[in-house]
Amino acid sequence: MRKVLKIAAWFIFVLVAIVAAFFWYAGFFDRTHIEERQMASFYVAFRDHQGSYEQAQSLQNQIFLELVRDSIVPMKAVGIFFDDPSVGRQSSGRYRVGCIISSDNLTRAYASMSGYRIMAIPSARYIITQFPFDNKLSAVAATTKAYHAFAAYRKTRGMKKRPVMEVYDEAAGTITLMTEVVF
């Protein structure tokens, strides 16, 4: 009986260690460093959507493929989320998803009949945080931590709540989350 308890204890220890390592790898234990800085303007090919945030990645993939089909090189994936995913029903979230495109591709993008829209994100001051993008769970860790950190930062400085933009840069392995500074 004692040997069975010892084996069970080791099994539980190993299981907890594996789960902890996985959460560490995903970024749940990373510090949330927030900074304010001016960001340059850029262009986004996007679609509006309302519903579960779980659909955002597949919608981004659709837009990515449409841009490639239209001979436009997508630079980074973007999501602009108007509702805090930790508050309220996620099934009715409002968001825009798409890809950043260069200004060189604007004429081709406007001429496209693919159904995405183009918008300019103007140069503005943002509060920004960045996380490693190692896997899908990294996005969950980043958004969970960033939304809470942004709320606390805004509250201490008297800022208004603005949509949160998530920029996924697979080449650099980063997720940048930012929200415009508005008083």
pLDDT of amino acid 90 = 65
pTM of the model: 0.84
Q: What are the tens digits of pLDDT across the range 3-51? A: 888 888 898 999 998 888 877 776 777 788 999 999 999 999 999 999 9
> Would you call 57 exposed, middle or buried from its count of C-beta atoms within 10 A (0-12, 13-18, 19+)?
middle
Residue spans of the domains in the chain: they are: 1-30, 35-180
pLDDT of amino acid 35 = 97
Mutual angle of helices 136-157 and 2-26, in 10-degree steps: 60
Q: Spell out, as residue ranges, where the chain has pLDDT lower than 50.
A: none
* CB-based contacts of 123, cutoff 8 Å, min separation 6: 38, 39, 40, 41
CATH architecture entry for 35-180: Alpha-Beta Barrel (3.20)
